[in-house]
Every structure is written in structure tokens, then in C-alpha cells.
Amino acid sequence: MFSGHAYTATALRALLVFSFLSFSFSVHADELDLFAYNVDPAGDINIPQSCRTQFTGSALSVGVVDFNNHAYGKVKVPESWAWWKDAEVKLPEVASETLISELVGIGGAQIYTRGELKKVIEEQKLQMSGLVDDNSLVGLGKLAGIRYIATGSISNLGFTSSAVSLMLGATPQMEIQLSIRMIDVSTGEIVVSKDISGKYLLDSNDYVGVINAIKKAMNNAFEDIRPEFSKQFTVRRFILETRSAPAGRIALVDMGAKAGLKKDDKLFVYQCRENKNPLTSVVTCGRMKLPVEGVVSGQVDEQQAWIYLKGDKDKVGRVCVGNIVERAPMEGQNLFKKWGLW
């Protein structure tokens, strides 16, 4: 029924992937040559006592519970698609697992899995079906000893058409809409609340094709939580070493793939100093953002990464060992994913 259109969608994806990879290779083909840079003298590193927590902060804990499915039974499908209900049955679990995967990729948080929370629920003889209001979720979070509880609901799932799908000859397009919220267990405050949606053009109209489209659409949707969650779970460490060459400066930072850092991620650079209140004599730590940008190179391992320091030469020259680096907020879906093509 849709085989010709599915082939068109698949061929278009292949063309987009080839174009993207070709562009990426042309832009990032150069690899960082550490031996082309001279190691800078480190000098004395004096971290003020009031600022030490900036360097040693522990990851915030967050637990994810299953989503509520408000989309069940709303999707109109051909009578011959008798398997459709099976495709919907595990949506709440798939949504929560997708959120967990996103949080792991973002880094900066200690994740409690659904299994770990389920164990707490069973030990306390709670009903998972009763965990629908914020008070019950806060209670679960306190019992589990975690800081945040994240959950949400699936509000809509179905087939839609868009300018892109019509351009491809009305290729069926899966669209999913969800609501995400995260609660601070210590205060009961909702710190993140966001409606997201994702699309994906079907490659085939059989069970495998539809399930794949649902998962792809869901994955695309969840990318739009990255800006908010990456602000909430900030990845922050410090500079271990700097190197210089006529072409510029680079720095080794004390975080890597384990903290979610990837090539081309952007980092802010800060210098710490103590501030003393003249009236109360209370000493606090102040951070000054330097007018430079760190860009993660291809040299990334589990615990460390090398970054390029971008900006005016004089300003880049201010960066030194002991400066704090903090990952800039991440971006959401790109245009191809918003169209459902990727």
C-alpha cells in the first residue's frame, strides 16, 4: 500500500545522511594534534576555600517513573491493522526508558532506573497506578532518597500529514505528543514542565515499520527537553592543563564522555574569586564568565577531553589551569528531525 512512498522516504533519508556526513567531514576532518602545541607553565593554583564546592559538587539524583498514556484508543487505523493495539501497549514504559536514555546522555545527574524505583514501591506496598499526582510522586522520591522525580504523559499518537509528507506523495507520518514534568522532591516545586512532539515518516506500514516510526518519533520529541534539562543538570568541572601554538590555545578539562561530553559541545569558562561583605564579613564565592568559548575537540575519553579555546587572542590568553568550565545548554531537535526525516 505504501511501499513506493516508503522507498521514497528511505531514499531521501539516505541522501540527507550522505550530505550531512560529507559536510561534517569537510568541516571537522582535521584532528587535534597535541604535539603541535607547547605546554603552558601551570603556575600556582590557589582555589579559595569558599569556592572549593564549585569544583567538587556531586551529581543530583533523579528518578523516572512510567508515563501515563492518554492516547490509547484514539488512533484511527485501517481494520486490517489488527496488531495496532499491541503497538500501543508498552508506550508508557518506552517513554520512561527514552527519558532515562536522554538524561544519561545529558550527564550531570545520577539516574535511578524504573527497576530501582519499582523495588521501593514494592517494599512500601505502594500502587504504581496511584502515582499520578505530585504529592504521591514527592512521597516516592523521599522514600527513595532522591532529589528529583521525572515523569509525564502521552497526550496524542497518530498519523498526520505535513508539507514534507505531501511532497513525498502523502507518505504516512507518525506523530507523538507528550508532556514532561520534573518535581523537586525537597520543595514539591515543578522545576521543568514542557510539551514536546516528534515526527517520523514510515518506512513501511507493517508492525515493524510502525513500531520503528513510533520509537523514532519519540526519540526526536525527547531531544527537545535537552535545553531545559541540561540547564538543570549542569556539567561543571575545571581545566587541568593548557597548551599554546601560533594557531591558538587548547585546554584539557576534567570531564569527558562519562559526563555526556561530545565533540563540538560548547563550554563556558569561569574564573573564581572570593567576595567579602564589608558589613557582615561573610565570604562567598563569585564566578566571572570569561569572554571566550570552549569547543570540544575529537579528543574525548571517559574522564577527560581536550577543547579549543575560541575568542580574541588577548582574552583567550587569560584562560589558565584551575578555571571552571561548564557545558553550555544543549540544543533540541534539528530541522530534519522536526520534519520527521531523520
69 and 210 part of one domain: yes
Q: Of 203, 232, 261, which residue constitutes the final position of a domain? A: 232
171 and 66 part of one domain: yes
pLDDT tens track for 266-290 = 999 998 888 888 999 898 888 899 9
Mean residue pLDDT of the chain comes to 82
191 and 69 part of one domain: yes
- Inform me whether the pLDDT recorded for 20 exceeds 80: no
Q: For residue 251, what are the domain limits? A: 32-56+234-327
pLDDT tens track for 132-162 = 578 888 888 888 899 999 999 999 888 876 6
189 and 228 part of one domain: yes
- Inform me whether the pLDDT recorded for 195 exceeds 50: yes
Q: Of 213, 232, 251, which residue constitutes the final position of a domain? A: 232
User: Quick one: pLDDT at residue 50?
Assistant: 80
User: Quick one: pLDDT at residue 77?
Assistant: 66
Mean pLDDT for 56-68 is 81
pLDDT band (50, 70, 90) for residue 202: confident
Here the CATH number for the domain that contains residue 154 is: 3.40.50.10610
195 and 85 part of one domain: yes
Residue ranges of E strands in the chain: 38-39, 60-64, 68-69, 109-112, 148-160, 173-184, 190-201, 236-245, 248-253, 266-276, 283-289, 293-300, 305-310, 324-327
Question: Which one, of 32, 9, 95, lies nearest residue 304 by Cα?
Answer: 32
- Inform me whether the pLDDT recorded for 5 exceeds 90: no
pLDDT band (50, 70, 90) for residue 304: very high
284 and 142 part of one domain: no
- Inform me whether the pLDDT recorded for 163 exceeds 70: no
pLDDT tens track for 236-258 = 888 999 999 998 999 999 999 98
pLDDT tens track for 77-125 = 666 666 666 666 678 888 999 999 999 888 888 998 878 888 887 777 6
User: Which residues contact residue 215 at a Cβ distance below 8 angstroms, ignoring those fewer than 6 apart?
Assistant: 94, 98
109 and 244 part of one domain: no
